[in-house]
Amino acid sequence: MGPHPTVAAIRLAVRRVLHDVLDSSAEPHPVVLAACSGGADSMALAAALAFEGPRLGVRAGAVTVDHGLQDGSAVRAQEVAGRLRALGLDPVDAVGVTVGRQGGPEAAARDARYAALDAAADRRGAAAVLLGHTRDDQAETVLLGLARGSGIRSLSGMAAVSGAGGRYRRPFLLLDRDTVRQGCLAQGITVWEDPHNHDPAYTRSRVRHEALPVLEKSLGKGVVEALARTAQLSRDDADALDQWAADAQADAAGDDGSLDVRRLATLPAAVRRRVLRRTAIAAGSPPGFLFARHIEEVDRLVTGWHGQKALNLPGGVAVLRANGRLVFSPS
């Protein structure tokens, strides 16, 4: 008898990614790590990696991050590491981090987690780090973006491949959370559910447990799938616009990097704003602090210009309009 259908689906998703990693790796036996919180999604991921990795000649390991935000978290991280070793994964690292304050609690924990995952991957020479995000996580990200009035880059959610050199992979992005969780149950895997996942103080928890269920009740079960589809369509559109903007920037820029205002004015607004954003970032404005309203201000130096000559952007970047050109200069 073969594995439970949900287990088969989970393993297939991981196998596909491992083939892709093997294809693009110079190493015949690359190290691949599962990033594991101990929750159902990432334990299912770890189990599938432990099963598929050795069959494909991949050295399968794992890393769990202790955010140090709850009593007993260090002990729990060791328990999770023990379970990961029991699955046959090696190496397994449990790493502690200090969560800062920048950008709110969820963002700060995420930043600390990815820094720790990056460091663990470097230390182990890993070709890839697998993350357990599911289609439901993707739908939640899109809904959050819609509620904030985000543009299509944000609405494109999480990429199947991301990070420096494409190191982060998300094999479950097209699988629904129920399938992944049932697969976990079917294998009798012990999981630890982070209480934060149910804490209504966290926005994502409210989206997961309140907003999406209301939408599904009112609009039908397909809402999660539809939102995930919006992510994919938005990604394709955003990629195309980014490419267009890169070409347009090369076209409008002089040797000194300043932009020709007349050329900018002929571009569609979506492309022009992307050119302005790229140029501001290249001049030193930090992407995380450069908001739509900043770019709209710069855009007013191009369209609807009333003689204003200069403005300042985050990161101390000054933008000056002179002689028909926009000059972005670091302070």
- Residues at the annotated binding site for ATP? 37-42
Count of residues making up the chain? 331
Residue 177 or 277 with smaller CB distance to ligand ATP: 177
Asked whether position 141 contacts ligand ATP by CB under 6 A, the answer is no
Q: What angle do CA 95, 22, 30 make, to 5 degrees?
A: 40
Asked whether position 61 contacts ligand ATP by CB under 6 A, the answer is no
Question: Cis ω on the peptide bond leading into residue 91 (within 30° of 0)?
Answer: yes
Residue 94 or 301 with smaller CB distance to ligand ATP: 94
The SS3 call for residue 153 is: helix
Part of the chain binding ligand ATP (CB under 6 A), chosen from 128-136, 219-227, 239-247, 254-262: 128-136
Task: Figure out which of the listed residues 17, 22, 32, 39 binds ligand ATP, where binding follows CB under 6 A.
Answer: 39
Asked whether position 234 contacts ligand ATP by CB under 6 A, the answer is no
Asked whether position 171 contacts ligand ATP by CB under 6 A, the answer is no
Residue 37 or 234 with smaller CB distance to ligand ATP: 37
Give the x/- contact pattern for ligand ATP in 249-278, rule: CB under 6 A: ------------------------------
Identify residues 63-102 at the interface with ligand ATP (CB under 6 A): 64-65
Asked whether position 40 contacts ligand ATP by CB under 6 A, the answer is yes
Give the x/- contact pattern for ligand ATP in 194-223, rule: CB under 6 A: x--x--------------------------
E strand intervals along the chain: 31-35, 59-66, 92-96, 126-130, 161-162, 168-169, 259-260, 310-313, 317-322, 325-330
Q: How far is CA 228 from each of CA 58, 148, 291, 310, rounded to the nearest angstrom?
A: 30, 17, 25, 41
Task: Figure out which of the listed residues 76, 83, 133, 135 binds ligand ATP, where binding follows CB under 6 A.
Answer: 133
Q: Are 73 and 64 in contact (CB under 8 A)?
A: no
| CB 216, min distance to ligand ATP, A | 17
DSSP 175-235: S-HHHHHHHHHHTT------GGGG-TTSHHHHIIIIIHHHHHHHH-TTHHHHHHHHHHHHH
Asked whether position 138 contacts ligand ATP by CB under 6 A, the answer is no
Helix, strand, coil tally for the chain in percent (to 5)? 55, 15, 30
Q: What angle do CA 25, 29, 34 make, to 5 degrees?
A: 85
| CB 145, min distance to ligand ATP, A | 15
Q: Over the Cα atoms of the chain, what is R_g?
A: 23
Task: Figure out which of the listed residues 11, 41, 127, 183 binds ligand ATP, where binding follows CB under 6 A.
Answer: 41
Residue 37 or 156 with smaller CB distance to ligand ATP: 37
User: Residues interacting with ligand ATP, by CB under 6 A?
Assistant: 35-37, 39-42, 64-65, 113, 131-133, 137, 194, 197
